[in-house]
């Protein structure tokens, strides 16, 4: 049992040093957990945007062999490096995120004798593949890693049920703690027209659809771009502009397929990574996220907090945040016509205004970041004191 008068030493293990939703969940905790109670470290592949944002009180360690795809040699090297680091630093808690680092980090932590091992579920790798053999391997690894875990944090009840039924996790080891939002930082715009001019360089009366996320297959940006192209070419929504914020492996595909035509280029904007996401959302009218799979997208919560109706794919993680025709629309990924129809329907002033109010009210009442981090803090303290 550890004294509550000494600092609790925690390592968050992430894969890439990006500023996507998974990493920003850790950043929120780094910023709000009290320094007098916690000594926080970050472990990831290398330096990058995430480490640039770290406060001086947070130390960063790098494991260069970490990689997203399965590589037996690199994964074994990463496991050994993590084990040595965790053994040397003598952490009270190791808190892992994402599938790859979740598996390697939890196994390494147990081998290193870390007393408390926490993992936040941001979706499951076995749900992202259709190959039965690969799915089986991913699921077996998740089952094994769960045996090395003191506490699993699920972002919603659907993932909790998967952990219980498919990974055979004891329900008593699972805490459901949804993501949260800074309500002041992501507040509705006072003058949206001014921000459209200043932030996006658009006309004040532009109707702006915005997607924020890493440009890789999971986020499905090409699906959004294809719907945007159809709407623009058929003039279904006059003055509409489609904004994609983020970068990644599909950026070149987006440029090649949707930026050669000048009319498309003017109305389908590829902004890359940006540090002014709150202002971009405030300058937008509707948020779009047609992901193939999700944990609990922080981007949706931030958009809703800003008062943006959300048009999102009807999948676990999304459909627990968006209620169809109440604060947005749920779309089926195999039906682009219904996707386009939802994009058109949401431009109706009455629909837009009602959904906007519903979004903001829901976030204010249930997704406050301060309350979320308080729950994380209590969980950390309870685990360490009672271990």
309-318 pLDDT per residue, tens: 999 999 999 9
Give the tens place of pLDDT for each residue, 192-224. 999 999 999 999 999 999 999 999 999 999 999
Distance between CA atoms of residues 242 and 224, nearest Å: 9
Residue pair 182/25 in contact by the 8 Å Cβ criterion: no
Give the tens place of pLDDT for each residue, 144-160. 999 999 999 999 999 99
Contacts 24+ apart (CB under 8 A), 103-109: 103/141, 103/142, 103/144, 103/145, 104/66, 104/75, 104/78, 104/79, 105/13, 105/43, 106/145, 106/148, 106/149, 107/79, 107/144, 107/145, 107/148, 108/79, 108/82, 108/83, 109/82, 109/148
Relative to beta strand 59-62, strand 328-331 is unpaired
Distance between CA atoms of residues 241 and 84, nearest Å: 51
Give strand pairing partners of 153. Answer: 120, 175
- pLDDT (0 to 100) of residue 334: 85
The answer to whether residue 143 scores a pLDDT higher than 70 is yes
Torsion-angle region of 293 (φ positive above 0: left; ψ -120 to 50: alpha; else: beta): beta
What's the chain's average pLDDT? 94
Please give the CATH topology (third level) of the domain spanning 8-180+368-386: Rossmann fold (3.40.50)
- pLDDT (0 to 100) of residue 319: 94
- pLDDT (0 to 100) of residue 337: 96
The domain 192-366 having CATH identifier 3.40.1080.10: the answer here is no
CATH 3.40.50.2000 residue spans of the chain: 8-180+368-386, 192-366
- pLDDT (0 to 100) of residue 324: 98
């Amino acid at each position: 049992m550890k004294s509550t008068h000494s600092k609790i030493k925690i390592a968050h293990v992430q894969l890439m040093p990006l500023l996507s939703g998974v990493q920003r969940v850790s950043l929120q905790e780094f910023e709000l957990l009290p320094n007098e109670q916690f000594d926080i470290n970050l472990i990831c592949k290398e330096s990058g945007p995430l480490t640039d944002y770290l406060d001086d009180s947070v130390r960063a360690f790098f494991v260069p062999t970490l990689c997203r795809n399965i590589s037996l040699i690199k994964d074994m090297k990463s496991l050994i490096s993590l084990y040595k680091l965790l053994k040397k630093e003598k952490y009270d808690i190791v808190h892992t995120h994402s599938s790859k680092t979740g598996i390697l980090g939890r196994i390494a932590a147990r081998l290193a004798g870390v007393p408390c091992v926490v993992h936040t579920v941001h979706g499951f790798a076995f749900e992202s593949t259709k190959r039965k053999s690969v799915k089986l391997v991913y699921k077996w690894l998740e089952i094994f890693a769960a045996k090395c875990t003191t506490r699993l944090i699920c972002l919603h009840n659907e993932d909790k049920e998967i952990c219980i039924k498919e990974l055979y996790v004891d329900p008593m080891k699972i805490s459901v703690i949804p993501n949260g939002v800074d309500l002041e930082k992501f507040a509705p715009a006072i003058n949206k027209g001014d921000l459209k001019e200043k932030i996006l360089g658009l006309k004040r009366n532009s109707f702006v659809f915005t997607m924020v996320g890493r440009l890789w297959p999971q986020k499905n940006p090409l699906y959004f771009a294809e719907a945007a192209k159809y709407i623009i070419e058929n003039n279904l929504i006059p003055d509409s502009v489609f904004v994609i914020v983020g970068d990644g492996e599909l950026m070149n595909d987006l440029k090649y397929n949707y930026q050669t035509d000048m009319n498309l280029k003017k109305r389908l904007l590829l902004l890359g990574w940006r540090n002014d996401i709150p202002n971009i959302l405030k300058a937008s009218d509707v948020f779009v996220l047609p992901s193939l799979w999700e944990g609990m997208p922080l981007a949706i919560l931030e958009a809703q907090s800003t008062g943006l109706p959300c048009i999102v794919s009807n999948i676990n993680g999304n459909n627990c945040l968006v209620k169809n025709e109440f604060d947005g629309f749920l779309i089926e990924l195999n039906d682009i016509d219904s996707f386009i129809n939802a994009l058109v329907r949401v431009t109706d002033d009455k629909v837009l205004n009602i959904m906007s109010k519903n979004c903001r009210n829901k976030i204010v009442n249930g997704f406050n970041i301060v309350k979320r981090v308080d729950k994380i803090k209590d969980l950390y303290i309870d685990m360490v004191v009672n271990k």
